Structure 1
Amino acid sequence: MKQISLTTTFTVFDSIDDLKTADKELMQQAIAARKKAYAPYSKFTVGAAILLDNGQVVLGSNQENAAYPSGLCAERVAIFYAGANYPEAKIVKLYITASPEDRDLDQPIPPCGSCRQSIAEYEIKQEAPIEILFMGGKGKIYQSDSLKNLLPFMFDKNYL
């Protein structure tokens, strides 16, 4: 038997005010997108902002549906919009904020498994890492240089 040890590294910011100006502005756009979420069932709102290498910013919010699981998470709404409208652009950074409607969580909320797999698809496709910054409704922000920190054993087209 053999063991494998994996190490991941995140940068932790105490609040949005500790981010660089450009990152702060994009996280604020993700927060604004979260306020447009359609979450009548879970009451859990998520917003995402994507910075593309062409300078475009794409926003997304979670969109639920009574025919669960027909809705989409904010991250996938934004990623799929970027892929459909800017197919040659690379995703440079992804900003995520999530919290229930009735309170602001103060712990960082990472992307769900489905979103991680969708992010992985684009990170592999563009052959470049996607920096991810995520937070709750307030408080600390975690920054990862690549999805590989969140999903070290990515499933990709090479297995097909």
Structure 2
Amino acid sequence: MNLKITLATGLLALATVACSAETSVKQATNTPHKSAAKVGAPVTVELVSSGQTSKNAKLPLMLLFKTDQPNVPLHVEYRTDAGLSLITVGNAALVSNQDGVVTDTPNVRAAEDGVYQLNVFVTIGDRTRAVSIPVTVGNAKPVLKSAGKAIQTPKGENLTILPAQETSR
């Protein structure tokens, strides 16, 4: 356990030094700091229902979009991974209700059993959020993706190195 804490503390210190060095260079060059990525649109996307399906069958995916404001226009674009095709239109113009909620039900179809992704891009104003919805067709087993890299220490302890996320102040 102490090794985990030591490694985590070391990684945190290294990240802090790297961020400080980057800030010092930017201040020295007098270049204004602009983040490479904008903050995503203030919306969440949830899969509410999907039926059991088999290959070549139509699968309706009921999606719930939640915002923090009522009557917000949302522009939604659907894209599929290889092997999964979109049956309905790939774009939708939605408006949230008084509670900031709206639903949409795109239909997809897969030629083979498997686990696919429906990629949902939601734009509110000039901000966009991308969400991947897993779609299981047939008897395929979902594959869980690890967010980090699993390693084992010389003492046999299992560690997962997680990616860092930069925040702006």
Q: TM-score, normalised by structure 2?
A: 0.29
Q: More relative contact order in 1 or in 2 (CA 8 Å, sep 6+)? A: 1
More helix by share: 1
TM-score using structure 1 length: 0.30
Name which one, 1 or 2, has greater alpha-carbon Rg.
2
